[in-house]
Structure 1
Amino acid sequence: MTLKLRSAAVSHRGLIRSGNQDSVHAGPWLLAVADGMGGMAAGDLASTIAIEAVSPLDVETPEDALVARLQQAVQTASARIRAAVAEDAERQGMGTTLTALLFARTGSCLALAHIGDSRAYLLRDGVLKQITRDDTFVQMLVDEGLISIEEASSHPRRAVVTQALQGEDVAPTYSTMVPSVGDRWLLCSDGLSNVVRADTLAEALISYPDRQACAQRLVDLALRAGGPDNITVVVGDVTADAAGPVPRPAG
């Protein structure tokens, strides 16, 4: 049995921001979300550069090449951001988060690349788990036991990112996992995760089997919560065949 990845994405500028600095890719082999920073024009550019660097990976890839391909794409993104900053001094400080999932052509493995505070969640057997770890000042405080997870959710510095793609040497996190039929992946910018509780995310992922409807529901939840930031959502399902029915996550 060969597993396949089927996905849908929705992006919205939110209710406060004048534009959308997020970029997204949702294909048969690759899911990716990038959240730009450093001013409107520069943020747009940085996230676009990141997605354009990883989008060529949306092809059949051997499982033993997944991480290496992601590493190469991230290095390409970083080099292009560095070049963009060199072209225009006003772009100094621009950068972007990146969370990307690459599915192997056999369906036997997937790899994740992550830097920043965009997130990847996995819903499996009705249980939602955050797979990525935020590169943020507040997450450092949680790790050191200085504040609780509950306190982190409302901390005034929760948006301070400690690592991002900015054209400098960084250490993204790379990992691999074995997919399972019925897995549902959520990749999102912090415009969703900062304002919608994890249990509410899980409820939506379970209640909306249609991927596009589910992605739209998640965006709507963030808008109902005030939509203070750009909101980007990718919902990806692991299925048992190329065109079969969408599996309803257990729960």
Structure 2
Amino acid sequence: MTLKLRSVGASDRGLIRSGNQDAHHAGSWLVAVADGMGGMAAGDLASTIAIEAVGPLDLETPEDALVAALQSGIDLATRRIRQAVDEDSDRRGMGTTLTALLFARTGSCLALAHIGDSRAYLFREGVLKQITRDDTFVQMLVEQGVITADQASSHPRRAVVTQALQGDEVSPTYATMVPWAGDRWLLCSDGLSNVVRPDTLAEVLAGHPDRTECAGTLIDLALRAGGPDNVTVVVADVVDEA
């Protein structure tokens, strides 16, 4: 059995924002989503820098080098964002989330890197699981038992991230997993996860085997829910091409 990754990405500025500060990559070995912050021009630049820094990782990588490769990509993004801020003081405070998944050349392993509140979900055998943990103020309150997960979804400070790529030293989360044939991954910005419930995400992932159609349906659902933010999705399937 030879497992491969097949992916499709889609993005929309939403119905409220004047521009799109999200960026994404949907490749054969790498998928990633970045959600910029810090003002229109700066947020757009930060997310673009992050995706351009990790984009070259979209190639065959040994499984024992996956995490190191993602670390090098994030280090490069950090340096480039710091340089961009140094070049223009108006960019101070700009940053971006980054959630990236890198598939090993053998198909036997994958690695995930995450910082911020974009998310990675795994849909496996009919069950949807959020793999990433939001680096947000409200997630911290949930874990402390101060508020519930439902309350977090409407909390006035739900957009406050506690970590992002901003040119400073950060501590992204890294993890490795064993892929299964039939796995479906969803990477998305909070423009989707903030307005579409997990059970609805699961229904769409289960009901639309065509990746392009699935991604388009998810975007449409976010727009129907008001489209208050930019919305970006990457749908990636683990397939057996033996």
Hey, what's the Cα distance between the residues in 2 that align with 1:24 and 1:9? 7
1:139 aligns with 2:143: no
Counterpart Cα distance in 1 of 2:54 and 2:140:
28
SS of the residue corresponding to residue 132 of structure 2 reads coil
In 2, distance between residues paired with 1:10 and 1:52? Answer: 17
For structure 1, list consecutive stretches of 5 or more residues without a partner in the other structure: 243-251
Aligned AA for 1:228? Answer: P
Helix, strand or coil at the partner of 1:174: strand
Distance 1:56 1:105 in 2: 15
Match of 1:224 in 2: 224
Any idea what SS the aligned residue of 1:73 has? helix
Q: Which residue number in structure 2 is paired with residue 245 of structure 1? A: none
Whole-angstrom distance in 2 between the partners of 1:217 and 1:157: 28
Cα separation, 1, equivalents of 2:191 and 2:146: 25
AA in 1 matched with 2:215: A
Specify the alignment match of 1:36 in structure 2: 36
Cross-structure match for 1:174: 174
Q: Which residue of 2 aligns with 1:16?
A: 16
C-alpha offsets along residues 133-188 of structure 1, whole Å, 9 cap, x if unaligned?
00000000001010011111111111100000000011000000000000000000
CA distance in 2, matches of 1:201, 1:223: 14
Q: Which secondary structure does the structure 1 equivalent of 2:7 belong to?
A: strand
For 1:34, the aligned partner's letter is: A
Deviation string 1:102-138 (CA, Å, 9 cap, x unpaired) is: 0000000000000000000000000000000000000
Letter in 2 for 1:83: Q
**Deviation for aligned residue 1:79:** 0.4
Aligned to 1:202: 202
CA distance in 1 between counterparts of 2:36 and 2:147 reads: 27
Structure 2 length as normaliser, TM-score? 0.99
| 1:172-205 deviation per Cα after TM superposition (whole angstroms, max 9, x unaligned) | 0000000000000000000000000000000000
Question: Deviations for 1:196-240, whole angstroms, at most 9, x for unmatched residues?
Answer: 000000000000000000000000000000000000000000000
Instruction: Write the distance in 1 (CA, Å) between the matches of 2:95 and 2:57.
Output: 21
Query: Which one-letter code corresponds to 1:174 in the other structure?
Result: Y
1:77 aligns to 2:77 (yes or no): yes
The structure 1 segments of at least 4 consecutive aligned residues displaced by more than 4 Å after TM superposition are: none
Aligned counterpart, 1:57: 57
Partner of 1:125: 125
Give the percent of matched residue pairs that are identical in Structure 1 and Structure 2. Answer: 78
- What secondary structure does 1:61 align onto? coil
CA-based RMSD: 0.6
Amino acid at match of 1:105: R
In structure 1, C-alpha distance between the alignment counterparts of 2:2 and 2:240, rounded to whole Å: 6
CA distance in 2, matches of 1:44, 1:155: 25
Name the residue aligned to 1:153.
153
Q: 2 CA distance for matches of 1:241 and 1:19?
A: 39
What CA distance in whole angstroms lies between the structure 2 residues aligned with 1:241 and 1:217? 26
**1:86 aligned to 2:58?**
no
Unpaired segments of 5 or more residues in structure 2? none
Matched, 1:68 2:68: yes
Deviation readout 1:27-47 (Å, 9 max, x if unpaired): 000000000000000001000
Distance in 1, matches of 2:222 and 2:93, equals: 28
Deviation at 1:2, TM superposition (A): 1.2
Secondary structure of 1:157's match? Answer: coil
Residue 42 of structure 1 aligns to which amino acid in structure 2?
A: A
Measured against aligned partners, the alpha-carbon deviations of 1:44-64 in whole angstroms (never above 9, x if no partner) come to 100000000000000000000
Aligned length, in residue pairs: 242
Counterpart Cα distance in 2 of 1:198 and 1:152: 14
